[in-house]
Structure 1
Amino acid sequence: MLKSILINLQKKSLKERFLLVLGILFFLVYLVLGLFIIFMKEFPIAMDTNYRIAFGIILIVYAFFRFTRLINDNN
């Protein structure tokens, strides 16, 4: 799968490559943000632990949803 992404990356225009990199960057941002929200002990927003974990899981699921759309759009 990664090999096909790299081959398709060479065929893309500069704009398409930029958007691919931006998509991967935002996938990582949502993933890391979800993990921070779940595992951060001193969370700056007053939020119940169960809601904080649920919000973190939603962000992680959304990150993988964006990643699958990014992969499918590149093929």
Structure 2
Amino acid sequence: MLKNSLNNFQKKSPKERFLLVIGILFFSLYLCLGLMFIFWENIFSNNFPLIMAFKYRVAFGIVLIVYSFLRFFRFLNSNED
């Protein structure tokens, strides 16, 4: 399985490799941003930069995390071709 995916990665053109890296980068960006919205005050002692109630921060963080996974699964499905 791993060897097959490694061979598939090596067969990709530079454009496809670049798009793969960008897709993984944006997945991790949205995921981290969603986690930051949820856990900012718990990790850092200073206040959150935006004035939002905690329940709205959690809701927006969850939306960002779900969106990141939707983008990732859509990217994987389009990448299998």
User: TM (normalized to structure 2)?
Assistant: 0.84
Report the Cα offset of residue 11 of structure 1: 1.4
Match status 1:21 vs 2:21? yes
**RMSD between superposed Cα atoms in Å:** 1.3
User: Structure 1 vs Structure 2: percent identity of aligned residues?
Assistant: 61
Q: Is the 8 A contact 1:27 1:63 kept in 2?
A: yes
The runs of at least 4 aligned residues of structure 1 exceeding 4 Å deviation read: none
Q: Determine helix, strand or coil for the equivalent of 2:48.
A: coil
Partner of 1:51: 56
Report the Cα offset of residue 13 of structure 1: 0.5
- Quickly say closer, same or farther: Cα 1:61–1:5, change in 2 above 3 A: farther
Report the Cα offset of residue 58 of structure 1: 0.3
- After superposition, give the CA deviation of every residue in 1:15-74 in whole Å (9 maximum; x if it has no partner): 110000000000000000000000001211100111100000000000000110111111
What amino acid is the match of 1:49?
Answer: F
Partner of 1:64: 69
Q: Which runs of 5+ in 1 are unaligned?
A: none
CA distance in 2, matches of 1:67, 1:38: 20
User: TM (normalized to structure 1)?
Assistant: 0.90
Greater length-normalized contact order (CA 8 Å, ≥ 6 residues apart)? 1
- Quickly say closer, same or farther: Cα 1:69–1:5, change in 2 above 3 A: farther
Aligned residue pairs total 74
